[in-house]
């Protein structure tokens, strides 16, 4: 399957974070976007709320200048994080009073977030979902002959 360089890089980083236990929805450096941006938190300055979809002044300036971070625009980064946190079971934006999963770092919660995030990343790049396993079960109809 043909993917874009930014998608390939993001998939590798998210896979490594998931299996290396460095994927944490509540940490700006270890969330989906934090991992895509090499475990940095520079993206958190693009919005005033973790998980929100509204760019702040700094985010709008970067967006309007056409700047990208590892290939993703500021608005795309906010959408990626939003998808990840929603799929993990958070009420957004992230706030201590809002609903959140009981165990945010459980593999089940993180897997749900990872699947939704990868699906969204593929959608952004116009690529078939790499997590879609239904093709594995496709088969040609064979005519069974009696013995």
Report if pTM > 0.85: yes
pLDDT tier at 130, thresholds 50, 70, 90 = confident
The answer to the question of residue 57 being in a domain is yes
- Which residue did the predictor score with more confidence, 87 or 50? 87
Domain span at residue 83 reads: 5-137
* Six token digits for residue 42: 């520079």
Q: Spell out the alpha helix ranges (H) of 1-140.
A: 5-19, 32-36, 57-64, 74-88, 107-124
The number of domains in the chain is: 1
Contact 99, 25 (CB under 8 A): no
pLDDT tier at 1, thresholds 50, 70, 90 = low
The answer to the question of residue 144 being in a domain is no
Residue of 130, 40, 25 whose CA lies nearest to 87: 25
């Amino acid at each position: 399957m043909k993917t874009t360089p930014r998608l390939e890089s993001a998939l590798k980083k998210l896979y490594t974070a998931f299996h290396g236990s460095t994927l944490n929805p509540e940490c700006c450096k270890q969330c989906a976007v934090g991992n895509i941006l090499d475990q940095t938190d520079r993206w958190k300055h693009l919005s005033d709320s973790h998980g929100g979809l509204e760019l702040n002044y700094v985010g709008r300036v970067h967006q309007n200048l056409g700047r990208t971070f590892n290939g993703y625009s500021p608005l795309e980064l906010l959408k990626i994080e939003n998808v990840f946190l929603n799929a993990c079971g958070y009420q957004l934006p992230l706030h201590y009073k809002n609903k959140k999963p009981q165990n945010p770092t459980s593999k089940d919660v993180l897997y749900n977030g990872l699947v939704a995030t990868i699906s969204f990343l593929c959608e952004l790049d116009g690529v078939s979902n790499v997590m879609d396993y239904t093709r594995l079960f496709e088969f040609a109809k064979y005519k069974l002959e009696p013995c």
